[in-house]
Structure 1
Amino acid sequence: MGSKKVLKVGLDSAAPFPMHSDYDSENFEGFEVDLMKAITEHLDFEVIYEVSLWSNILEQLFKGELDLICSAVTVTPSRRHILEFTNPYLHFRLCAVIKEADTLRSISDLKNKTIGIREATEAEKYVHANFPGNNMVHAETNKELYRKLQAGKIDLLIDDSPIAGGFLQKNKKLKVGLYLPNTDSQYAIAMKKGDVNLKEQFNEVLTLLKENGVYQTIYKKWFTDIQF
């Protein structure tokens, strides 16, 4: 028996729960952790996680310092040019999170509001493209972003719906005010360009996990009452 092939898997240092918790916490857990475990056990790979700032992580993969990233990576046309993506493992939308007492009736209510966003995310691109005149407040981590909203430093924040769901489970003072139109998106596992063999192995197992019900079991464990 040879030793197992080791995969270096990149993780966002600002853990996007329920996708995954903080790697250094007592319980490193989450939807992506369970999914990665199921895939790699099936393929007989060993996983070594490496934690990075979101703003550096895609660059590290591009340079080949990581084998893959499974950390709420949104599939986009520009990223497809420089990376390989597996089939998507989660569909979601962008949403606007507000305080419990506030309301957003439609997208036009976002006019003149101070919007919080995380750096180097698709949410940031969305706000720059659709609300370039708005006041924007950037944060490096989700936690910081949600804290700013609670403290009243911003009127709303824009985030991926599964991650917003994770924060809102722990925070009853905030709510989703609006799902943003035409922001249907997907998370997939990102790999180095040209790593087609690995991608195909992962896709085969992803399909299998959906067919044999393992995927659904993991999904239900983490997303019981979150609506995307």
Structure 2
Amino acid sequence: MIELYTAPTPNGHKVSILLEELALPYQVVPIDLMKGDQKQPGYVALNPNGRIPTIVDRDNDDFAVFESGAILLYLAERHGRFLPTAAKARSVAIQWLMFQMGGLGPMQGQANVFFRYFPEKIQPAIDRYQNETRRLYTVLDQRLQQAPWLAGDDYSIADIASFPWVNIHSWAGVPLAGLDALIAWRDRIRERPAVQKGLAVPGNVPPERLLDAAKKILQR
């Protein structure tokens, strides 16, 4: 049994999607970001960074894993799926996973902050992060013109990592117009039953509650 500590964010959805794709039994422990659950000592003992998501693998000596990319790698390697085994192909998948972790996530995250959450509109900051997110979308689109999936011929954790961010592009105010390969990729992933289930974890939260939570976090 996997315990998944999560909230309805792109980073949280990466892990719930993979757990659904793997058809693993897991128990959801919702983390209320507005209440600051992620900063409580019991949670920080599992995740020193005080962010979501985190898993605890009860079938592996209660092993805790934090950071969404590390969780994807851990689960894919442990269960032998969604990560190629051949050295070069595995490296390609990890390269695109790191592209999301080091580029797409941080840049779109900042676009979300300045476009949606920040109490004052700082247009140069909005422009910078929206433009950089759009540039990164273009990199994804160019890759997907060459291959059906980011790692090549097969759907992998590289796709699972980037999809939840691209799926909420409008929240950051970044259009997908003209990125036909990226749109087709997003639509194919949206159709997967496991993805639909994973996006529903940890349950429906009204957008205004998420907005209030983000604003409260920014004030700390």
Larger radius of gyration: 1
Is the strand fraction higher in 1 or 2?
A: 1
Same fold by TM (over 0.5)? no
Is the helix fraction higher in 1 or 2?
A: 2
What TM-score, normalized to structure 2? 0.31
